[in-house]
Amino acid sequence: MSEDRIIKTEYSEVMQKSFIDYAMSVIISRAIPDVRDGLKPVQRRTLYDMHELGIRYDKPYRKSARIVGDTMGKYHPHGDSSIYEALVVMTQDFKKGLPLVDGHGNFGNIEGDGAAAMRYTEARLAKVTQEAYLADLDKDVVDFGPNFDETEKEPTVLPVKIPNILINGSEGIAVGMTTSIPPHNLAEVIEATKAYMLDENITTRELMRYIKGPDFPTGGIVTNEDDLLEIYESGVGKIKVRGKVEVEKAKGGKVNLVITEIPYTMIGANIAKFLSDVASLSETKKTQDIVDISNQSSKEGIRIVIELRKDADVENFKNLLYKKTRLEDTFGVNMLAISHGRPEVMGLKSIIKECVDFQFQVATRKYTNLLSKELERKEIQEGLIKACNVIDLIIEILRGSKDRNMAKNCLVNGEVEGIKFKSKESKIMATQLMFSEKQANAILEMRLYKLIGLEIEALINEHEETMANIFRYEDILERRDSMAQVIINELEGFKREYKRTRRTAIENAEEVVYKEKELEEMEVVFLMDRFGYAKTVDLPTYERNKEAADSENKYVFKCKNTGKICLFTDAGQLHMIKVLDLPFGKFRDKGVPIDNVSNFSSEKENMIFITNQTELNLCRVIFVTRQAMMKVVDGGEFDVTKRTVAATKLQDDDKVLSIVCIHDQKNVVLQSREGYFLRFPIDEIPEKKKAAIGVRGMKLSENDELEAIYYTQNGLEVEIPYKSKNLILNTIKLGKRDGKGIKVRG
């Protein structure tokens, strides 16, 4: 490569410029809507393509795949999925206050089920889209630009006649910024737009006499009405939305809570999440009031039924749902849109101003275009009327001319050279003809039947109508009030045809207060069998079944129902389990696997010791590992809130072998796998922190490790079976910690 072709530049500058270019491309050309038509480029291109394909509201549906393919090939080369997703959303009346596409087939539902593949569904433009979004495209009302490969022209903005950005809202994530505009009621938005056009000094507070607040397709209740003014002035804020709950009486004196409207943020998978959260409230014992829950929603609307116990506090339970589930949620408002080619956060008045200014621009271009056509029509009509008055002379000119150009030259310039006339008077009159080029062409192309009396009369009437149109168009273009009235009349027409009642209630609701029922503290008995299934029972139940309980279970001890269970493992971990998380009830109930209510994994670690936290707090604990590392830890160190903590520090390849609480034990006996026994006083084991490794309790040969640990008391013999005989541990000579011990042979 030659030297003059190499461009040397700073790498960071190239990266910075490239990233900024990419970010602006995503912001302007992908994710953020234009304030004028409220559409993202993919939506605008899809609607325009449907318009160009002639898929109107009064024509048959066409396959979605055809629309998507045509849009991708001509205007939007970013993949078919983004186009189809945009098409699907524009059909969904639970997402859009005013659906722009009429879908036929499975276009998904409010519960989050996706639409069928594009090859199965069909679509066409909605009537409102044809009338309010795409009308007048043929009247040069908006600018057109080249498509991505400059083989087609596409509109830079659609001539939308209503503030779509407010009516349908918008959501999008760009680079470094997001937009989140809630949908509003069409009738209210139109009334606010009219009010602004009549008084441009109107305040946001006054505009809110017309626009009460968001109007979500899913209904619900906005609970912070007082915050709306600040949100609409700044364009940023949080709207609190609650679902609508009704109380129905059921059989047997029971009560059903029926959710008929949900927050807009709950659309889709969050409905299933809500059902799961409600079930979880019962499973985690946050409430004992739920008997059953069922989702009876259908095409008619949302209906989630929660059946409650007879004595349930309905109001308190309703507050629990608002507090612990997404039945009350927050909609984050960030009214970001593209204005004059750049992203801008806009308040309510700014958005309406931009939309109104755009309407005046569109109307100016429309009526300028119409006036130009009417003036052209007027010129031709006047030429034809004038020609009808001298039709005999014109016929004489046509018959005497050698060709079209000669006749046209005579009509326009009065040139009579070469034309044969019947009389001198005709020739003199011909020199006085002064038709324009357009008039002459119209005369030459005029058919003979136009000379019929009725046709001439119709031409005169048409001319009068044209003059009236010219007068009207000039008035609209010259007087802003006249143009404003035309726009207002159109807005009122759309309001009459497409208005609907408000779905979302706006109010100032009190903060939800949920009173948890105070749990009555009681002593229970923890039972866990050798398979790891755990449960709790009350003391009378345990006393009645004491013998069976002690024989069938590996761990049995008393604890408080408000307390915690401490589970130590050979990996040196401590897992905390709330007693309330364990099933409480009948003695013969199976219980729940301990893995399910803790972070303990029986596949990765083994259980060494289980006790309740209260008892652990009152004692000292001895840790012994297979490599003979020992320490004493104050049980209070394990009074932690985390579900899992490290109970001790271990050396490489070491495991905890034994953990016991110290009560009356005086001596410890360590037994190695190779048959060495070492007995020494417990007092020789130092007290350490839980994060320490500890000290060596016994010297082990290279391949040896501890196999068992025993504890003895003064004056009490401890006998164990060892190999082929019984061994009395008290007879082993008392030694010192960190000794090798005595080899005991079988």
Give the active site residues.
Answer: 120
DSSP string for 515-534: -PPPPPP-EEEEEE-TTSEE
CA–CA distances in Å: residue 407 to residues 448, 523, 711:
17, 118, 132
- φ/ψ of residue 196, rounded to 5: -65, -40
User: What would the two tokens of residue 22 be?
Assistant: 């990419």
Three-class secondary structure assignment of 272-308: HHHHHHHHHHHHCCCCCCEEEEEECCECCECCEEEEE
Q: How far is CA 111 from the centre of its chain?
A: 13
Distance between CA atoms of residues 99 and 96, nearest Å: 5
Distance between CA atoms of residues 517 and 457, nearest Å: 91
User: What would the two tokens of residue 201 be?
Assistant: 């000094």
Coil, helix or strand at residue 239: strand
Coil, helix or strand at residue 433: coil
Q: How many helices (H) and strands (E) does the chain have?
A: 21, 35
Q: How far is CA 277 from the centre of its chain?
A: 18
675 sits in the region (left: phi over 0; alpha: psi -120 to 50; else beta) called left
CA dihedral of residues 277, 283, 284, 290 (deg, nearest 10): 80
CA–CA distances in Å: residue 350 to residues 32, 56, 184, 236, 508:
17, 33, 16, 13, 26
> Could you tell me which of 456, 406, 404 has the C-alpha nearest to residue 430?
406
Q: What is the DSSP letter of 700?
A: -
